[in-house]
Amino acid sequence: MNIQEMHTTFRTLGQQMGMQLIRGILPESIDVYLNEAINEKVRNIVIGNSTTSFNDRVAIQDNSISPVNSIRTLSKRSSLTIPIIAGNIDYHTIIITTQKVMFYTSFGVRYLNFKRRIGTRFIETDKLDDTRADYCNRESWDAPIVTMNINSSDQECIELYINNTAKTPDKLEISYIELPAIVKWHSTLSSATSCNLPIYIHNEIVELAVDKFFKSVGSTTKPVTRN
């Protein structure tokens, strides 16, 4: 369903809900409700398929089918080069160049002259020192740790801890859920921006957008049957 079809469906469903003047709404306003509905739908899918077993652990996926099918078009992977710094260093800093990230889902490290990808733990900054001081949980080359922060130049960056000078990290792989496209109506379809979520949930998004409009105008009008 392209953006023009979504607008048509929005107006059709709106009239069925009793908003007889819905054809007076501007396309720009419909875009606002559609974009709100898209963002809410993606957030709900992620939250609904995530669970935290322990309060101090990162959320893990509980249902592997629903998120893959519902937001598979937003699932991306990016590879960042890890700068090589001479000398004995405590950690590697990688500036994030990946744009439009909504949620980070996993991290992995690839070393020079080592074929296998090593999964990386993400630790919040306030728990980093305690984790590194723990003999059983501290970082190692085959159990690295990453954390995220904002540097002095207001750039989002990742700190990678491996506690090993014999291994040279080469790439940091990031799996993430991309921000959904911001839809925008235009009379010429080639100049418009359509929803980039799987087609089968487009109707649900439009219904959610209509409901948001219905609530925002404070309308409780129901279809009236005339004799």
Q: Does the structure show a pLDDT above 50 at 227?
A: no
- pLDDT range class, residue 20, cuts 50, 70, 90: low
Cβ neighbours around 70 below 10 Å, total:
21
Model-level pTM? Answer: 0.80
What is the full DSSP assignment across the chain? --HHHHHHHHHHHHHHTT-TTGGGS-HHHHHHHHHHHHHHHHHHHHHHTEE-SSTTS--EES-SSHHHHHSGGGEEEEEEEPPP--S--S-EEEE----SEEEEEEEEEEETT--S-EEEEE--HHHHHHHHH-TTTS-BTTB-EEEEEE-TTS-EEEEEE---SSS-EEEEEEEEEEPPP--B--SSGGGSB---S-GGGHHHHHHHHHHHHHHHTT----PPPP-
- Cα–Cα distance, 181 to 38 (Å, whole number): 9
**Residues in contact with 110: Cβ distance below 8 Å, sequence separation at least 6, in sequence order:** 117, 118, 169, 170, 171, 172, 173
Question: Given this model, what pLDDT does residue 56 score?
Answer: 54
Of 57, 53, 34, 37, residue with least CA distance to 45: 37
Six-digit token string for 200: 């089968």
Domain boundaries, the chain: 1-71+197-227, 75-178
The more confidently predicted of residues 18 and 95 is 95
Whole-number percent of the chain with pLDDT over 90: 57
Q: What is the largest CA-CA distance in the chain?
A: 87
Q: 123: pLDDT confidence band, cut at 50, 70 and 90?
A: very high
pLDDT of 122 strictly over 80? yes
Mean pLDDT of the chain: 84
Q: How confident is the model at residue 209 (pLDDT cuts 50, 70, 90)?
A: very high
90 or 139, greater pLDDT:
139
For residues 120 and 173, the answer to whether their CB atoms sit within 8 Å is no
pLDDT at 47: 80
